[in-house]
Structure 1
Amino acid sequence: MKQVVQNYKSGELALLDVPVPGCKPDGVLVRSAYSLISTGTELMKVSEAGMSMLGKARSRPDQVAKVMQSVATNGLPATYRKVMGKLDSYTPLGYSLCGVVEQVGTGIDDVSVGDLVACAGNEHALHAELNWVPKNLYSRVPDGLAPRHAAFGTVGSIAMQGVRQGEPQLGDVALVIGLGLIGQLVVQLLVASGATVVGVDPDPARCELAERLGAAACGDPASAAVVNSVAELTGGHGVDQVYLAAGGSSNQPVELAARLSRDRGRVVDIGKCRLDLPWNAYYEKELDVRFSRSYGPGRYDPEYELQGRDYPIGYVRWTERRNLACFLDLLARDRIDVEPLISHVADFDDAVETYRSLKDGELRAVAVLFRYPERTGEAHETAPATAVPAVRRASKAPAAVRPAKATVRLAFAGAGNYATSMLLPHLARRDGVELAKVVTTTALSAANAKQKFGFAEATTDLDAVLDDPSIDAVFVVTRHSSHAELTRRALLAGKTVFVEKPLALDQDELAGVLAAVEESGNDRLQVGFNRRFAPLLKEASERFGTRTGPASVRYLVNAGRLAAGSWYLQQNTEGTRFAGEGGHFIDTASWLLAADPVSVYALATPGNEDLQVVLRYPGGSTATISYVTTGPAGFPKETLDLVADGRALRLDDFVRASVHGRKRWVSSRLPKARDKGQRAELDAFLEAVRTGGPMPVPLESLVATTTATLAVRTSLASGAPVTLAAAR
């Protein structure tokens, strides 16, 4: 299928061939009929992409701050790869469309194949021929409403949420600053609610359009006509609400809002304009400044948008889905008229040229629609699909050892940040390695990985990977909640598997993986515990030498706080943060001590922000892992000490290391890039796949580390140590 994409680094716009998205549970697959270009939001993104790197940095200081923090934590080379990987990738455009339901996922009972729906979301209602849309981001289109009008649903919801934040009442007078697409819709919604509206925009054509759609008066912000109209309509008191629907860097909108508001009026920011509030003006009138967050309550909440958990109507009357349905209803009852807003309708095949015309100013428009070609031929059968289909049992167990191969064919399940910044750069265009297939749930992610790293094929069909006998190994680099199931399926299909940590999020998942090993006879498994392969740590361990007595390991992990909205915080689905990352540190300690832990005892500060995990090993050795999130950002992330037999080893964040004893060894004092062992780990894994030899880490060790990681939660809950012998 085709999708409109943009490379944020180069500014290139393209109509790209991407895989068809799969129809996951709790959502529908929608074939687009019309999608709407947001001439404000989207053109701002298109313009930013055309800036220099310095210009991009100036436009997004929030992202620059994140980059600097990443440099302090992960080092410049790793941060550079990550940032360039994001910039030099195709990103989607679009967030408002109308289309026909083509497939229905499990858990959906409110629409059927063939229904017309309006869809929302900058990850789900894209300018693409097909989109998978979760249940809270679509709404059935009322009978009789034209699809081209229903495509305005999302933008209409944005305008509606802004009006709700202003709380207009019958007889109020409202000022709308900015009469672009959002502003025109705000005008109509206010008129429908019984308010008198004055509009402000420097474009006379937009002012005339707003007056035709119900505004009492409109004019240029610098003209006396607007001031006079407000004075006449309000008896000199000023307007009850001001709706900022303008963009740009001028501070004129907020200054005008203060001048024309009544005492204790409300100012609602809907657009993205400069908000340098003149303190005296806002203080003297005690103005109430409010923000309108996109489509309404539920926006940016993954449990609402992705998992379909609705808010009770008694507590949240107007969610983003209910706003969408309400706006469609107003359209269907002719309370809102969007036809006059449509400046241009372009065929989807002309999408790139349309964006160019808008950017260059050749096409001046309030709203532009893409019209998609009608589907020809028979419709698909309604076959509910899921992200993880039923397991297909292997007909026979694979051979324990495979013959050596000149070229290893690899497939990736997942192509997120870690895969594209830490794994694939070491594998792309490498002798003896063929990147055969990449499979993701998001079509554009697979297309990006194919384009950047040279995969032969991109798909959203996991079965196409597992059923391909030519695939030698599968990398599972998806979100944590899917690791165990995808690993289990790949093992049963006879593949060698590299799964990023964690292997499992609970004992049942771990048991499922081990059952697959037992059933298939396939134990060709590696978990991404890369630190034991780090060259600096390996050299320090060799310098330390053979140990005779018990040892003490102290490992401080300054993990830092996660940004709000990070999927790592979704503990109900993705497990705790330590469950996802803690295996790294347990594995490192176990490798240094050449043993598996026999007990785990964990303590935590209130709220489980900082953890102390004490591991006991055979022979009396112990390891203490301090996993903290409250430390300073500038402090090294990982510091490790090993003490035994009158000697001590110290590792400083994979940059420097030293060994103290009868002789002292210190690594080079010249700053080095942090090498946490990913490349060496991949070398060892590929050698095992190529030769059929032993896996780099014994399965027993992977299981012991996973069991110990899971035991941390058990110990926190019970307040007592957990013995691991029975679990192993």
Structure 2
Amino acid sequence: MKQVAQNYRSGELTVLDVPVPSCKPGGVLVRSLFSLISTGTEMMKVTEARLSLLGKARARPDQVKKVLDSMAQQGPVATYKKAINTLDSYTPLGYSLCGVVVEVGAGAEEFAVGDLVAAAGNEFALHAELNWVPRNLCVRVPDGVAPEHAAFATVGAIAMQGVRRSEPQLGELACVIGLGLIGQLVVRLLVASGVRVVGVDTVPARCAMAEEAGAIASGTPDGEGGVALERAIAAATGGLGADHVFLAAGGDSNGPVELAARIARDRARVVDIGKTKLDLPWNAYYEKELDVRFSRSYGPGRYDDRYELEGVDYPAGYVRWTERRNLECFLQLLAAGSVDVGPLVSGTHPIADAESVYGQLRDGSLKGIGFLFEYPEAADQAPAAAAPATAHTRTVAAPRTAGTSQRTGTGTDSGTVRLGFIGAGAYASSMLLPHLAKLPAATLGTVATTRSLSAVNAQRKFGFRALTTDASSVLEDPAIDAVFVVTRHHSHADFVCRALEAGKAVFVEKPLALTAEQVDRVLETVDRTGNDRVMVGFNRRFAPLFTDLRRRFGPTAGPVSVRYLVNAGELSSGSWYLNEEQEGSRFLGEGGHFIDTVGAWIGSAPVEVTAFQTGDGADLQATLRYADGSLATLTYATDGNARFPKETMDVSGAGRNARLDNFTRATVWSRSGKDVKRSYAGQDKGQRAEVAAFVEAVRTGAPMPIGLDSLVSTTLATIAVEESLTSGGPVKL
């Protein structure tokens, strides 16, 4: 299928041929009829992508801080590679469309194949022929609403949420500053609500459009136009000033904020909907005690994964207007004729012409407010006869990226291992695939991702021979020798079992499982199939500084004491790690790394775990007792300084001490003195050696690099930490 995408590093904007997304539970697969270009949000993104790296940094200072924090913890080399990997990827455009349902996932049975729907979301309602959309971001289109008008529903919901934030009342006067697409919709919604409206924009044609929609006056903000506007507002309000001011403008000028202060009445509400400079003039806003409010996207539910992805609705008695209800309300206004978006359609273009359309919008040769992409094959198809989409897999003649070698042959019979990947997110793309792509013994076969562009990015960078959005295509392919599972935590155990049942070797990123029951299922599958070819991504035991430090420390006749400090740091508010109900706790997902590293040092299995956490539950400390009498204390802290090293391990025993400082420096203290080694090339946490060892074991049939008993022991010890926190006492293993 066709999809519009942009490379944020190079600025390249193109229409790609990508696999059709699979229809997952909780949503529907929608064949697009029309998708709306957001001339504000999207063009800002398109413009940023064409900036230099320095220009991008200036445009996104929030991201610069993250990069600096990462450099302090991981070093410049690792940070640079990670940043470039993120930038040098295709990203989607679009977030508002109308289309026809062609497939219904489990849990979304309120929809039926053939339904005409409007869809929202910058991860779901994309400029693509087909999109999977979760149920709470999808609504039926009422009879009588043209599909091209229904495609405005998302931006209509954005405007509606802004109006709701201001709480206008009949007869009041509102001023809308910025009469682009959102501003024009705000004008129409306010007029429909019985509110008098004055519009402000630097483009006279937009002012005229606002007046045609019902604004009592409009004009430019400067010079005589600005004076006339202020007089009109004063005349309409008896000198009081505007009851509400909506900032729907963009750009770096502070003019809209200053104008709002001049025209607003005492204690008026100022609502920011767009993305404009907000350097509030303190005296002006203080003296009038202006109420400044922000409007966040489509409404309550936005950025809440439980609402958007899991379909958990908010009770109307507590949250009357969610983003889905805003979408429905806007469509109902269109159906009733209370709002007309027809005059906002400035042009409709085939999706194949997207590159040209964005170019003309960027250089100003294409003028207007609302532009639509049309999908002619879908438009010619009657909704009731909409055909399901089945092209989830695409085979390509994969070009090799710079620095990789072209290989021939398939599977172990020809001396190479053919790999399949399920998941190709940030970690897989930066920490695993770059190493695998350079291994002569490995051939990258098929990559499966839930998002179409993720598969395209993986193929483009690493040379996969086929890409798909159907994980079963990887698991059922007889040519695949080994499967890498690099997905979200809740899916690991299931994919491992399915891969083993298919006769594959499997490499799964930590954790192997989230519960003891899932561990039992993996072991039952191993027993039933006789296939124990499992490897978990416990990479730290393969780190060069760690293995060398263990060698220099030497053998010990008795137990040792280990102290491991993890300065994990805070998670961003949108991180999927925060969904503990589905993905398990943060420690459950990551803690196995550190328990495995300690176990690799000691060479013995833990037999007892006791854990405590701080009052707020943010930090924890676990003590592990091992069969040989060794003790390990693991501190997992989330509220430390972001630039303090992430990991520090200290070992004491047999008259010696060892310290591993964040995989950049390793020191041994012994009777012969102090011996220090450093990694001058930056952090190496062992991923290169780890994947090489796994591929070689698969190729030769040798034992897995980490024994299954050890993998299970580490996983159960990690789970035991959670059990100890709950019970308040020790847990024996």
Q: Does 1:718 align with 2:727?
A: yes
Q: Offset of 1:669 from its aligned partner?
A: 5.2
Residue 551 of structure 1 corresponds to: 560
1:437-448 alignment to 2 at 5 Å? 437-448=446-457
Residue 189 of structure 1 corresponds to: 189
Residue 59 of structure 1 corresponds to: 59
Distance 1:669 1:682, change over 3 A: closer
Contact 2:70 2:643 in 1 (8 A): no
Aligned letter for 1:529? F
Residue 102 of structure 1 corresponds to: 102
1-side partners of 2:213 and 2:251: how far apart?
Answer: 25
Task: Pick from 231, 235, 239 the counterpart of residue 234 of structure 2.
Answer: 231
1:651-690 alignment to 2 at 5 Å? 651-668=660-677, 671-690=680-699
Residue 246 of structure 1 corresponds to: 249
1:615-694 alignment to 2 at 5 Å? 615-668=624-677, 671-694=680-703
2-side partners of 1:556 and 1:429: how far apart?
Answer: 33
2-side partners of 1:658 and 1:405: how far apart?
Answer: 44
Q: Does 1:323 align with 2:332?
A: no
Contact 1:658 1:664 in 2 (8 A): no
Spell out, residue by residue over 1:213-240, the C-alpha distance to the aligned partner (whole angstroms, 9 max, x if none).
1100000001221111101101111000
RMSD of aligned residue pairs (Cα, Å): 1.4
SS at match of 2:606: coil
Distance 1:380 1:669, change over 3 A: closer
Q: Offset of 1:109 from its aligned partner?
A: 2.3
Which piece of structure 1 moves more, 563-572 or 277-286? 563-572
Contact 2:663 2:679 in 1 (8 A): no
Residue 21 of structure 1 corresponds to: 21
Contact 1:404 1:691 in 2 (8 A): no
Residue 314 of structure 1 corresponds to: 317
1-side partners of 2:218 and 2:676: how far apart?
Answer: 72
Which piece of structure 1 moves more, 83-92 or 372-381? 372-381
SS at match of 1:437: strand
Residue 161 of structure 2 corresponds to: 161
Aligned letter for 2:469? T
2-side partners of 1:632 and 1:122: how far apart?
Answer: 33
SS at match of 1:184: helix
Aligned letter for 1:709? T
Unaligned runs of 5+ residues in structure 1 are: 386-401
Q: Offset of 1:667 from its aligned partner?
A: 2.9
Residue 112 of structure 2 corresponds to: 112
2-side partners of 1:515 and 1:559: how far apart?
Answer: 34
2-side partners of 1:23 and 1:16: how far apart?
Answer: 20
Spell out, residue by residue over 1:399-423, the C-alpha distance to the aligned partner (whole angstroms, 9 max, x if none).
xxx9665111111100111000100
SS at match of 1:411: strand
SS at match of 2:628: helix
Residue 146 of structure 1 corresponds to: 146
2-side partners of 1:16 and 1:619: how far apart?
Answer: 58
Distance 1:379 1:147, change over 3 A: closer
1:336-351 alignment to 2 at 5 Å? 336-351=339-354
Q: Offset of 1:434 from its aligned partner?
A: 1.0
1-side partners of 2:695 and 2:619: how far apart?
Answer: 37
Aligned letter for 2:55? G
Q: Does 1:255 align with 2:258?
A: yes
Contact 2:200 2:219 in 1 (8 A): yes
Q: Offset of 1:670 from its aligned partner?
A: 7.0
Which piece of structure 1 moves more, 95-104 or 432-441? 432-441
Count of matched residue positions in the alignment of Structure 1 and Structure 2: 707
1-side partners of 2:639 and 2:146: how far apart?
Answer: 54
Which piece of structure 1 moves more, 372-381 or 324-333? 372-381
Aligned letter for 1:282? Y
Which piece of structure 1 moves more, 429-438 or 693-702? 429-438
Aligned letter for 2:25? P
Residue 574 of structure 1 corresponds to: 583
Spell out, residue by residue over 1:125-144, the C-alpha distance to the aligned partner (whole angstroms, 9 max, x if none).
00000000001001000011
Q: Does 1:79 align with 2:88?
A: no
Spell out, residue by residue over 1:443-477, the C-alpha distance to the aligned partner (whole angstroms, 9 max, x if none).
11111111111111110111211111110110000
Q: Offset of 1:698 from its aligned partner?
A: 0.4
2-side partners of 1:42 and 1:474: how far apart?
Answer: 37
Spell out, residue by residue over 1:23-73, the C-alpha distance to the aligned partner (whole angstroms, 9 max, x if none).
000100000000000001100100001111111000000011111111112
Which piece of structure 1 moves more, 343-352 or 3-12? 343-352
Aligned letter for 1:193? S
Q: Does 1:485 align with 2:494?
A: yes
1:471-550 alignment to 2 at 5 Å? 471-550=480-559
2-side partners of 1:570 and 1:288: how far apart?
Answer: 34
Task: Pick from 295, 298, 313 the counterpart of residue 295 of structure 1.
Answer: 298
Residue 47 of structure 1 corresponds to: 47
Residue 211 of structure 2 corresponds to: 211
Residue 12 of structure 1 corresponds to: 12
1:691-706 alignment to 2 at 5 Å? 691-706=700-715
Distance 1:60 1:33, change over 3 A: same
Aligned letter for 2:313? D
Q: Offset of 1:607 from its aligned partner?
A: 2.3
Residue 277 of structure 2 corresponds to: 274
Contact 1:405 1:691 in 2 (8 A): no
1-side partners of 2:6 and 2:181: how far apart?
Answer: 22
Residue 69 of structure 2 corresponds to: 69
Q: Offset of 1:276 from its aligned partner?
A: 0.3
Contact 2:568 2:646 in 1 (8 A): yes
Spell out, residue by residue over 1:616-660, the C-alpha distance to the aligned partner (whole angstroms, 9 max, x if none).
011211111011112222221111111111111111111111111
Q: Offset of 1:379 from its aligned partner?
A: 4.1
Q: Offset of 1:671 from its aligned partner?
A: 4.0
Task: Compute the TM-score of the two structures, normalised by the length of structure 1.
Answer: 0.96
Residue 457 of structure 1 corresponds to: 466
Residue 600 of structure 1 corresponds to: 609
Q: Does 1:422 align with 2:419?
A: no
1:382-401 alignment to 2 at 5 Å? none
Aligned letter for 1:263? D
Task: Pick from 359, 364, 367 the counterpart of residue 364 of structure 1.
Answer: 367
Aligned letter for 1:50? R
Contact 1:101 1:117 in 2 (8 A): yes
Q: Offset of 1:524 from its aligned partner?
A: 0.3
Contact 1:161 1:295 in 2 (8 A): yes
Contact 2:606 2:713 in 1 (8 A): yes
Which piece of structure 1 moves more, 198-207 or 667-676? 667-676
2-side partners of 1:696 and 1:166: how far apart?
Answer: 61
Q: Offset of 1:665 from its aligned partner?
A: 4.5
Aligned letter for 2:10? S
SS at match of 2:119: strand
2-side partners of 1:710 and 1:699: how far apart?
Answer: 17
Aligned letter for 1:327? F
Spell out, residue by residue over 1:540-573, the C-alpha distance to the aligned partner (whole angstroms, 9 max, x if none).
1101111101111111111111111211111011
2-side partners of 1:670 and 1:102: how far apart?
Answer: 54
Contact 1:227 1:260 in 2 (8 A): yes
Q: Does 1:560 align with 2:563?
A: no
Aligned letter for 2:239? G
Residue 37 of structure 1 corresponds to: 37
Aligned letter for 1:600? V
Residue 337 of structure 2 corresponds to: 334
Unaligned runs of 5+ residues in structure 2 are: 393-410
Contact 1:124 1:131 in 2 (8 A): yes
2-side partners of 1:287 and 1:607: how far apart?
Answer: 37
1-side partners of 2:5 and 2:214: how far apart?
Answer: 37
Contact 1:295 1:323 in 2 (8 A): yes
Residue 398 of structure 1 corresponds to: none
